[in-house]
């Protein structure tokens, strides 16, 4: 894990002091509401429907047990005893007080954390593969590049007032677990024939009201040019991106208007001036960061023979669903599902965070991760420890064996919290999970994403099944999309028809699921079946249902 | 546009007039939330009606087009957000001033204008930000190359000047991308700022805080920082009666160099006499118990007296000084004495201490030049060879784990 040096520490401490002063001046009436807004946003502070919300950065989703305990303490002391983990690997506290936020930020600084640039029109928290550094299909460990990007983009003086928000993601594995296709700027890391790390650069992905997949503008960027090229992209966007309409201000609109090739040429023209300049990464700079990400001392501890394991069916289900292969065959990365019955997806209480921090210390070298799917991961678990770890998780309602299954729903806070939401998302997610429960195991892997509005915080455009909250005459209505995926270059879901009432959504999704079960071929997943047959047979299955009803 | 700040070689100065500012109305923190804001969102951003300013000190601003049509010697240009500043290449020699118009705080194009002017067009003249320019943007504006700021009418000069010092080290460029030496230089500067911040916070929060100085290099560094920042932190030392003349010579030197009077605390004479009769003047060589008793009489008891009535004390301990100090924290709770204990140099290396002493010309104990590294009482201190464990120069006849005098007990806990 990255450990702060004096530079990191000082910048975060001075940032806390700056925001404390700004908050005091705001409360004294010396900064007006409009001028305070970008200041608080770039420190993670939103004003939601009922209360202010603080979004804390968890850079590329990596947490130490000490940091997780600090988050638990913040939930207890300043909030209502819980936090919400997000698709961008952050955590949100939904009930903070504006005047207490400087104290929260000071507490975060003590454990090398911050809320810098977690919102506002700036470069946001960098995200990546939750299994970075441990995934068995990894080509290049993205974490050092993420950390370098975090430092360079933090408090960059030129790019703090972009046309709109700007999200950066890295992927270094064969399977893209970072949803790079829907990021403003994304990098796929690979090794060239000489073994040198190079990057495929993609720009202009994003969701919201104008969903677009990112376009490749560079295929062979040398790692040392990561920052100079990023600077060229950001300058092209900062200077020339649209600022006349906030709905058209993301870089995806600029890229689409110019065409990816012309946008790439614009970037190249600027990059030609920056290549080899002071932001060119030296080998020493890369190595300096990379030493923080070497593996903990993993011991060669083989898993006990299968017949000595408890023959508990629940344990086996958990092991097949929640345990991910590791680069070291004696280890595994395990996923702790935060998709429990009766609990909002991605929520964890302070006590659960403390408990998971304790497990991280005892089973995972003190490290935990936050996933795109709003779950927590322990990345370094000895296979020999799996039964004991399972038993401990199970005793605390944290061993639900549903990773990638129908109840592992990505869900935004929705109308229960968010001041932009058209409809509620949390109760609907619960109803969908309930309805599909009888066929969940048979269905296998399926990604269901429920967003309460067009802003698509739950990534409904790239869910295998996406649900979008709309409003009709003051009531919650929903649209259903099919066939999206965030990986494999990305695909946007197709709208299946007119919006429907909340109570009809679970039944319609059940119908889609059952249609899949009827038409699937041997070993074919839900999304593979949709891609083979196209969306139309599924749409027809819904319409047949309506006629029957 | 009523108040202009300018940056010059000597630092920032106020170059314009201060206007009357309206009295502030305290804000109501929006802890109740904003409710449903969907209908309040207006996506279209209104274009500005015209330039935010028409004139500067030397006349009327020219637009970029007017400047290109016929530049006047000594004139000033006012750039708008949508201008492509590259069109000014090779046409800036005669400009007395370039101003960049910020119509909204959130419109960041002007920052890129400044970058292009400074880095691409090599413009070295005065570069002014005007319009929606508030104190809270000043630091970033200065970093991209602005050196003149026409503040919005409601802004205070004091706040704006303070804002220019918000951050001490940058992330971008060499500290992130460059060789280790560049990062280490930034780190050294950061460590000094962290020391200054820690001392300032202690001075503000604690009751009668004090530095317990052994007159070591570390304590001289902290003394220097206290004196430079003029902080209300006492400095005292414990004259055990067995110190080197070279050590004691620092007391008058601190007085002449910093004007600081160091409180000197001495051991209880009766206790010293009793020790000498029982164990002899140098009885500490005979065993650990005798040595610890001597330390207690000559150092620990005077320290306890010196700390009475204080809520915090400061030490110059560093983690890599001794095996016993590896887990040292910067802020601890001294449970034995019931007060805060701060070790602001905990993360410093010996090299950092020497570099600081060189940068600020800090007076140093002459014994360092003779191979002494860790300096205590004269009979219990000797020089060490280069590269040898510094702690070998203290109580060298004892086991490594016992080498503390008792000032720094293990009964401290991390805060």
Q: The complex's ipTM?
A: 0.94
* Residue A545 confidence (pLDDT): 59
By Cβ distance, the residue of B24, B109, B143 closest to A157 is B143
* Residue B11 confidence (pLDDT): 87
DSSP B98: E
**Lowest-confidence region among A82-91, A333-342, B71-80:** B71-80
Report residue A453 as tokens. 């509005």
- Decide if B24 and A30 are in contact by the 8 Å CB cutoff: yes
pLDDT in tens, A65-119: 999 999 999 999 999 999 999 999 999 999 999 999 999 999 999 999 999 999 9
Instruction: Tell which phi-psi region holds residue A152, choosing left (phi > 0), alpha (psi between -120 and 50) or beta.
Output: alpha
CA distances from A343 to A82, A84, A339 (A): 11, 11, 7
Which among A155, A179, A176 is positioned nearest to A167, based on CA atoms?
A179
CATH number of this structure's domain B191-414, picked from the four choices 3.40.50.1980, 3.20.20.80, 3.90.1170.40, 3.40.50.620: 3.40.50.620
Q: Where are the domains of chain B?
A: 3-18+49-163, 191-414
* Residue B411 confidence (pLDDT): 39
- Decide if A31 and B38 are in contact by the 8 Å CB cutoff: no
* Residue B285 confidence (pLDDT): 82
Residues of B in contact with A18 (CB under 8 A): 166-167
By Cβ distance, the residue of B105, B120, B166 closest to A35 is B105
- Decide if B38 and A419 are in contact by the 8 Å CB cutoff: yes
Q: What mean pLDDT comes out for the span A189-203?
A: 98
- Which long-range contacts does B300-303 make (Cβ < 8 Å, 24+ apart)? B300/B405, B300/B406, B300/B407, B301/B267, B301/B268, B301/B271, B302/B238, B302/B240, B302/B265, B302/B266, B302/B267, B302/B268, B303/B212, B303/B238, B303/B265, B303/B407
Residues of B in contact with A247 (CB under 8 A): 43
Q: What mean pLDDT comes out for the span A248-277?
A: 97
Question: With contact defined as beta carbons under 8 Å apart, do B3 and B157 qualify?
Answer: yes
- Which residue carries 């501890």 as its tokens? A301
- Decide if B31 and A27 are in contact by the 8 Å CB cutoff: no
Nearest-by-CA chain A residue for B85: A239
d(CA B368, CA B380): 15
Asked whether residue B235 carries a pLDDT value surpassing 90, the answer given is yes
**Lowest-confidence region among A201-205, A273-277, A290-294, B393-397:** B393-397
By Cβ distance, the residue of B25, B108, B120 closest to A29 is B25
CATH class belonging to B3-18+49-163: alpha beta
DSSP symbols for A328-377: STTEEEEEE----TTS-TTEEEHHHHHHHHHHHHHHSTTEEEE-TTS-EE
- Decide if A47 and B115 are in contact by the 8 Å CB cutoff: no
Q: What is the mean pLDDT of chain A?
A: 95
* Residue A293 confidence (pLDDT): 96
Report residue B150 as tokens. 């026409």
pLDDT in tens, A113-153: 999 999 999 999 999 999 999 999 999 999 999 999 999 99
Residues of B in contact with A112 (CB under 8 A): none
**Lowest-confidence region among B66-80, B149-163, B175-189:** B66-80
d(CA A204, CA A255): 6
B183/B402: higher pLDDT: B183
* Residue A302 confidence (pLDDT): 58
Residues of B in contact with A121 (CB under 8 A): 106, 108
d(CA A464, CA A496): 12
By Cβ distance, the residue of A15, A47, A238 closest to B112 is A238
pLDDT in tens, B14-24: 888 666 666 77
Which among B133, B126, B198, B197 is positioned nearest to B165, based on CA atoms?
B197
Residues of A in contact with B107 (CB under 8 A): 161, 243
Nearest-by-CA chain A residue for B29: A98
By Cβ distance, the residue of A35, A121, A156 closest to B172 is A156
Buried b vs exposed e over A319-340: b needs ≥16 C-beta within 10 Å?
bebbbbebbbeebbbbbbbbbb
**Lowest-confidence region among A162-166, A296-300, A317-321:** A296-300
Whole-prediction pTM: 0.94
Nearest-by-CA chain A residue for B346: A6
Question: With contact defined as beta carbons under 8 Å apart, do B377 and B243 qualify?
Answer: yes
- Which residue carries 């961008």 as its tokens? A88
**Lowest-confidence region among A242-246, A320-324, B270-274, B319-323:** B319-323
- Which residue carries 């460990």 as its tokens? A141
Helix (H) or strand (E) run with residue A221 in it:
strand A215-222
* Interface test mutation site (partner B, options A158, A269, A421, A476, max chain B beta carbons within 10 A): A158
Under the banding of pLDDT at 50, 70 and 90, the label for residue B413 is very low
Q: What mean pLDDT comes out for the span B371-377?
A: 84
- Decide if A14 and B167 are in contact by the 8 Å CB cutoff: yes
Residues of A in contact with B173 (CB under 8 A): 278-279
Q: Residue B117: phi, psi to the nearest 5?
A: -60, -45
- Decide if A7 and B24 are in contact by the 8 Å CB cutoff: no
By Cβ distance, the residue of A25, A159, A280 closest to B177 is A280
Question: With contact defined as beta carbons under 8 Å apart, do A171 and A188 qualify?
Answer: yes
Residues of B in contact with A12 (CB under 8 A): none
- Decide if A5 and B27 are in contact by the 8 Å CB cutoff: no
pLDDT in tens, B93-144: 889 999 999 999 999 999 999 999 999 999 999 999 999 999 999 999 999 9
DSSP symbols for B36-73: --GGG---BPPPPSS-S-SEETTEEEEPHHHHHH-PPT
* Residue B410 confidence (pLDDT): 47
CB pairs under 8 A between A and B: 190
- Decide if B180 and A18 are in contact by the 8 Å CB cutoff: no
- CA angle centred on B383, ends B378 and B386, rounded to 5°: 160
* Residue B2 confidence (pLDDT): 67
Structural domains of chain A sorted by starting position, each given as residue range(s) with its CATH number in brackets: 6-59+81-110 (no CATH), 134-290 (3.30.413.10), 306-395 (3.90.480.20), 410-548 (3.30.413.10)
* Residue B415 confidence (pLDDT): 37
Q: What mean pLDDT comes out for the span B185-205?
A: 97
CA distance B26 to chain A (A): 4
CA distance A195 to chain B (A): 21
* Catalytic annotation, residues of B: 405
């Amino acid at each position: 894990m990255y450990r702060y040096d004096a530079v990191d520490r000082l910048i975060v401490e001075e940032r806390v002091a700056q925001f404390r002063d700004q908050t005091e001046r705001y409360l004294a009436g010396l900064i007006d509401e409009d001028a305070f807004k970008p200041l608080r946003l770039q420190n993670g502070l939103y004003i939601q429907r009922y209360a202010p919300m603080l979004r804390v950065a968890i850079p590329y989703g990596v947490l130490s047990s000490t940091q997780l305990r600090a988050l638990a303490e913040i939930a207890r002391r300043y909030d209502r005893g819980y936090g919400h983990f997000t698709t961008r690997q952050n955590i949100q506290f939904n009930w903070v007080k504006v005047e207490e936020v400087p104290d929260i930020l000071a507490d975060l600084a003590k454990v090398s954390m911050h809320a810098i640039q977690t919102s506002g029109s700036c470069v946001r928290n960098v995200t990546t593969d939750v299994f970075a550094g441990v995934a068995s299909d990894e080509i290049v460990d993205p974490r050092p590049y993420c950390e370098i990007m975090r430092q360079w983009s933090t408090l960059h003086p030129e790019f703090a007032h972009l046309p709109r928000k700007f999200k950066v993601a890295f992927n270094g594995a064969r399977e893209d677990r970072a949803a790079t296709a829907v990021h403003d700027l994304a990098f796929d890391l690979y090794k060239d024939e000489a073994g040198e790390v190079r990057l495929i650069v993609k720009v202009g992905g994003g969701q919201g009201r104008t969903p677009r997949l990112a376009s490749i503008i560079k295929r062979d960027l040398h790692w040392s040019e990561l920052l100079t090229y990023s600077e060229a992209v950001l300058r092209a966007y900062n200077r020339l991106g649209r600022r006349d309409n906030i709905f058209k201000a993301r870089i995806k609109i600029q890229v689409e208007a110019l065409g990816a090739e012309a946008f790439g040429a614009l970037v190249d023209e600027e990059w030609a001036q920056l290549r080899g300049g002071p932001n060119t990464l030296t080998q020493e700079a890369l190595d300096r960061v990379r030493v923080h990400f070497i593996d903990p001392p993993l011991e060669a501890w083989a898993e006990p023979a299968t017949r000595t394991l408890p023959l508990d069916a629940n344990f086996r289900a958990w092991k097949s669903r929640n345990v991910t292969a590791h680069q070291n065959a004696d280890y595994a990365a395990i996923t702790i599902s935060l998709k429990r019955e009766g609990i909002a997806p991605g929520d964890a209480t302070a006590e659960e965070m403390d408990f998971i921090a304790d497990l991280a210390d005892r089973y995972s070298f003190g490290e935990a991760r936050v996933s795109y799917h709003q779950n927590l991961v322990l990345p370094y678990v000895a296979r020999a420890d799996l039964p004991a770890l399972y038993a401990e998780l199970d005793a605390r309602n944290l061993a639900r064996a549903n990773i990638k299954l129908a109840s592992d729903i990505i869900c935004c806070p929705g109308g229960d919290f968010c001041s932009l939401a058209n409809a509620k998302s949390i109760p609907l997610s619960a109803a969908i999970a309930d309805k599909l429960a009888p066929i969940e195991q048979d269905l296998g892997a399926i990604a269901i994403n429920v967003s309460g509005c067009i802003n698509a915080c739950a990534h409904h455009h790239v869910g295998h099944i996406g649900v979008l909250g709309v409003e009709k005459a003051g009531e919650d209505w929903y649209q259903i999309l099919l066939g999206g995926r965030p990986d494999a270059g990305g695909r946007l879901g197709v709208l299946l028809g007119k919006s429907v009432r909340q109570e009809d959504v679970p039944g319609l999704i059940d119908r889609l699921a059952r249609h899949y079960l009827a038409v699937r071929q041997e070993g074919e997943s839900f999304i593979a079946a949709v891609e083979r047959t196209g969306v139309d047979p599924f749409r027809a299955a819904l319409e047949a249902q309506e006629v029957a009803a | 546009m009523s108040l202009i700040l300018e940056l010059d070689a000597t630092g920032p100065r106020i170059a314009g007039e201060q206007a009357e500012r309206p009295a502030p109305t305290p804000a109501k923190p929006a802890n109740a939330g904003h409710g449903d804001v969907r209908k309040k969102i207006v996506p279209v951003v209104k274009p500005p009606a015209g330039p935010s300013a028409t004139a500067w000190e030397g006349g009327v601003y020219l637009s970029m087009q007017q400047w290109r049509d016929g530049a006047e010697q000594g004139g000033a240009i006012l750039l708008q957000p949508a201008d492509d500043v590259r069109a000014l290449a090779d046409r800036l020699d005669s400009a007395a001033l370039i101003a960049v118009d910020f119509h909204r705080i959130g419109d960041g194009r002007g920052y890129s204008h400044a970058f292009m002017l400074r880095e691409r067009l090599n413009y070295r003249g005065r570069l002014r930000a005007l319009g929606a320019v508030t104190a809270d943007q000043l630091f970033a504006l200065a970093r991209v190359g602005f050196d003149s700021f026409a503040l919005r009418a409601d802004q205070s000069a004091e706040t704006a000047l303070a804002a220019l010092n918000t951050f001490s080290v940058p992330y971008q460029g060499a500290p992130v991308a460059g060789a280790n030496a560049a990062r280490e230089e930034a780190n050294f500067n950061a460590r000094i700022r962290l020391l200054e911040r820690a001392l300032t916070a202690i001075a503000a929060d604690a009751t009668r805080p004090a530095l317990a100085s052994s007159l070591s290099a570390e304590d001289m560094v902290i003394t220097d920082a206290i004196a430079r920042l003029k902080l209300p932190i006492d400095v005292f030392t414990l004259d055990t009666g067995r110190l080197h003349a070279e050590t004691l010579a620092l007391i008058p030197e601190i007085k002449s160099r910093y004007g600081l009077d160091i409180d000197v605390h001495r051991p209880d004479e009766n206790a010293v006499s009793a020790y000498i009769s029982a164990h002899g003047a140098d009885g500490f060589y005979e065993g650990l118990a005798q040595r610890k008793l001597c330390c207690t009489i000559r150092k620990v008891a005077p320290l306890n007296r010196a700390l009475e009535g204080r809520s915090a004390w400061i030490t110059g301990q560093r983690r890599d000084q001794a095996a016993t100090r590896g887990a040292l924290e910067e802020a601890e709770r001294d449970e034995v004495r019931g007060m805060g204990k701060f070790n602001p140099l905990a993360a410093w290396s010996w090299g950092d201490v020497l570099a600081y002493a060189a940068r600020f010309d800090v007076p140093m104990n002459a014994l360092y030049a003779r191979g002494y590294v860790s300096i205590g009482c004269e009979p219990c201190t000797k020089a060490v060879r280069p590269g040898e464990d510094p702690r070998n120069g203290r109580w060298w006849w004892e086991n490594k784990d016992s080498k503390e005098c008792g000032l720094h007990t293990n009964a401290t806990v991390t805060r």
